Amino acid sequence: MNLFRLFGDMSHLASILLLLYKIQTTRSVRGLSFKTQALYVTVFVTRYLDLFYDYVSLYNSVMKTFFITSSCYVLYLMKKKYRPTNDPSIDTFRVEYLLGPCVLLSLIFNYRFTFAEILWSFSIFLESVAILPQLFMLQRTGEAEAITTHYLAALGAYRALYIPNWIYRYWMEDQVDPIAVTAGIVQTALYVDFFYVYFTKVLQGQRFELPA
């Protein structure tokens, strides 16, 4: 565990707390993509199956359990409690275009050709693109509440911080995880546009609005 990773994980934790805070205070899931949230549940469930057969540390188990339960809770809030505030008509990204290639990639690139390892690999590839329905929705509506953009910024920061973590591990621990690194770089790159608007507008006190 190095500081980049610790801060990355804390940023990931913060992003989920921001997401829950946004939903509870505005009593609305407006501006959130159900598809992205459902993809995150898929990511966490397929990746953290190792909770049942591979104990790493208390920290590791607690975080994995938190990510699975909180993401399922968000789905419940979107589909049940605040259902009337969810607008599927603007959440139109075709998820099958993400799932298909991820299945294919995980069958080709994995560390062992076993069910659990293929699922792990699938979850890594899927996580790298899971934010796309959300970013697509943002692009369509052209604006977002500040709190929603803070959520996305924390999520993006988590991914960005994993990159120096891998560099650190490469040099200091002589360890490398090519699948996670490749997917992680792709995932971080997807946030570049968002971060540009976030830094130039939201952090300057302006509304998050995309040019028409």
- Point out which residues bind other proteins (CB under 8 A): 5, 9, 12, 50, 54, 56-57, 60, 63-64, 67, 111, 120, 162, 169-170, 173-177, 179-180
Q: Which is nearer to other proteins, 24 or 175 (CB)?
A: 175
Q: 209 φ, ψ to 5°?
A: -135, 135
Q: Which is nearer to other proteins, 56 or 104 (CB)?
A: 56
Query: Which own/partner contact pairs does 17-21 have at CB distance under 8 Å and 24+ positions apart?
Result: 18/147, 18/150, 18/151, 18/154, 19/74, 19/151, 20/70, 20/73, 20/74, 21/147
Tell the smallest beta-carbon distance from residue 63 to other proteins (Å): 5
User: Distance (Å, rounded) from C-alpha 3 to C-alpha 17?
Assistant: 21
Tell the smallest beta-carbon distance from residue 60 to other proteins (Å): 7
Q: Annotate 60-122 with DSSP letters as a single string.
A: HHHHHHHHHHHHHHHHHIIIIITGGG--GGG----THHHHHHHHHHHHHS-SSSSHHHHHHHH
Q: Which is nearer to other proteins, 97 or 111 (CB)?
A: 111
Tell the smallest beta-carbon distance from residue 25 to other proteins (Å): 27
Q: Which is nearer to other proteins, 81 or 169 (CB)?
A: 169
> Is there a contact between 128 and 187 (Cβ–Cβ < 8 Å)?
yes
Q: Which is nearer to other proteins, 176 or 186 (CB)?
A: 176
Tell the smallest beta-carbon distance from residue 179 to other proteins (Å): 7
10 burial type by CB count under 10 A (0-12 exposed, 13-18 middle, 19+ buried): middle
Q: Give me the residues paired with residue 209 across strands.
A: 143
Tell the smallest beta-carbon distance from residue 159 to other proteins (Å): 12
> 3-state DSSP call for residue 31?
coil
Tell the smallest beta-carbon distance from residue 186 to other proteins (Å): 16
Q: Which is nearer to other proteins, 76 or 170 (CB)?
A: 170
The amino acid present at 54, given as its one-letter code, is D
